Amino acid sequence: MYFQPHNHEFWYRARANVHTMAYDIWADDWVRHSPRFELLFEEYRVLKHTPCGVQLEVDFERRFVNRSWNKRFAAPTKEEAVEDLRHRTRRRNEILTAQLRDTEIILENLNARVQFQPNTEGRVSSDHQSLH
């Protein structure tokens, strides 16, 4: 059941970048331009197959990846790697959207409710006010 791959088999992890700045050598400065999307694939050599998954070489170390994991580090095909990236990016968007909502609530409350008063020690303290 365990075997070493005979050929150079690889699994893939997709990564995406969006570039909105570029260096203009004529202006000797960074300039903003329209967003440019870049899709990259990192290749990881398969060291060994197991009944549940594979062992990959990642940064000169072994890393196990289970074939049935929903969140896996790498995928056997580039198409699956893109689908995994899509899931990671959706989850990242959910987290960042929630963090943005939190920061907007904090700013609203700071702008509307918090009044600062100097205390006797020269430091600034705020009146504690609840959000309700």
pLDDT tens-place string over residues 44-76: 999 999 999 999 999 999 999 998 888 899 999
Does residue 132 fall inside a structural domain?
A: no
The beta-strand segments (E) located in 8-109 are 10-24, 29-49, 53-58, 61-66
Q: Which residues of 13-22 are buried (b: 16+ CB within 10 A; e: fewer)?
A: bbeeeeeeee
Main-chain phi, psi angles of 87, to 5 degrees: -65, -45
Does residue 130 fall inside a structural domain?
A: no
pLDDT in tens, 6-48: 568 999 999 999 988 888 788 788 888 888 899 999 999 999 9
Three-state DSSP at 91 gives: helix
Domain that holds residue 57: 10-112
Number of domains in the chain: 1
Does residue 19 fall inside a structural domain?
A: yes
Whether the model clears a pTM of 0.85, i.e. scores above it, the answer is: no
Does residue 120 fall inside a structural domain?
A: no
Does residue 5 fall inside a structural domain?
A: no
Nearest to 125 by CA among 94, 22, 1, 116: 116
